[in-house]
Structure 1
Amino acid sequence: MEIGASLLATVGVLIVGRVAYGVAVNLGQDQWSSGARAVFLVLNSFVLVFGLFVLLLGDQVRRGRTWAWITGLVMLPFTILFGVVLLLITALSGAVPWAGAGVVLVAVAALITLSAPRATRAYFTRGPAHPAPPVGQAAWTGGRS
């Protein structure tokens, strides 16, 4: 579980880093119009929020939150799909897609680590803990309701 949570958080960090790098490169270029630059920044802000949310999910999975585990298992395939699309776009433009490959590989590893091991599934699919019976004289009903 710890490894899967760490990998999930790493996916978030890679997404945030990729956005930061892309925005820095974009702001350094002069051939973009102000409208195109604004659209690029707005779209990247959505990806940045997504990356920060994935980072938060990694922390919550590490803390044993079932909702975060389920949400991570739902979001990781979309992260992989989005990463593959960006990887292909980068590769087809003639650049080496290091960041895209990193996101995809770490996301695949996180998905496998959060879903494949029996101990991880058992930990998150266990039933809710039953509360301890109340302690004290007033709580005793003598078997009668």
Structure 2
Amino acid sequence: MAYGDQPRPRSVEIGASLLATVGVCIVGRVAYGVAVNLSQDQWSAGARGVFLVLNSFVLLFGLFVLLLGDQVRRGRTWAWITGLVILPFTILFGALLLLITALSGAIPWAGAGVVLVATAALITLTAPRATRAYFARTPAHPAPVQAWSGGRS
């Protein structure tokens, strides 16, 4: 059961899992890129440092997306809205990775993975009516408190 004893739709579970998978793909791409970079000797120390600093930002973003997936699964509306804002940018970034990798002659697994999973997550978190209704619900409010009348009846 979820917040307010309203059952969580399967589409929310799937969308949250896909959002967390996007985070895992981003973290995996960073880990792979750093491992490949550290195994090469053709980079200068300054260029390697800049590469590692930039990838640390991408790593933090990937971890944030992973945690965002958990919060969406828990039914947090703020996380759902944040995910809907972040996913199009993630698709754009993944498409850029896909293009750069394809133009260099390699197989664009990381870019393709990010684009496909992020697109599936965006569709799953926006298209089903049950998902939109689940996040558009109003939370249960406690009974109103009577105003204090100052001791007069």
TM over 0.5: yes
The CA deviation at 1:132 is 3.8
Quote the residue 1:118 is aligned against. 129
Query: Structure 1, residues 71-130: CA drift from partner, whole Å, max 9, x if none?
Result: 000000000000000110000000000111011000000000001100000010112322
Quote the residue 1:51 is aligned against. 62
**One-letter amino acid matched to 2:29:** R
Quote the residue 2:46 is aligned against. 35
**One-letter amino acid matched to 1:80:** I
Q: Which runs of structure 1 show a deviation greater than 2 angstroms over 4 or more consecutive aligned residues?
A: none
Q: Is the 8 A contact 2:87 2:118 kept in 1?
A: yes
1:16 aligns with 2:55: no
**One-letter amino acid matched to 1:3:** I
Gap regions ≥5 residues in structure 2: 1-11, 147-152
Inter-partner Cα distance in structure 1 for 2:113 and 2:54: 21
Query: Structure 1, residues 29-66: CA drift from partner, whole Å, max 9, x if none?
Result: 00000000001001100100000000000000000000
**Aligned residue pair count:** 138
| TM-score of the aligned structures, taking structure 2 as reference length | 0.86
Inter-partner Cα distance in structure 2 for 1:133 and 1:82: 48
Q: 3-state SS of the aligned residue for 1:96?
A: coil
Q: Is the 8 A contact 2:97 2:110 kept in 1?
A: no
Inter-partner Cα distance in structure 2 for 1:132 and 1:24: 57
Quote the residue 1:87 is aligned against. 98
**One-letter amino acid matched to 1:68:** A
Inter-partner Cα distance in structure 2 for 1:86 and 1:129: 44
Identity percentage of aligned residues: 88
Q: 3-state SS of the aligned residue for 2:123?
A: helix
Q: Is the 8 A contact 2:21 2:66 kept in 1?
A: yes
Gap regions ≥5 residues in structure 1: 139-144
| TM-score of the aligned structures, taking structure 1 as reference length | 0.91
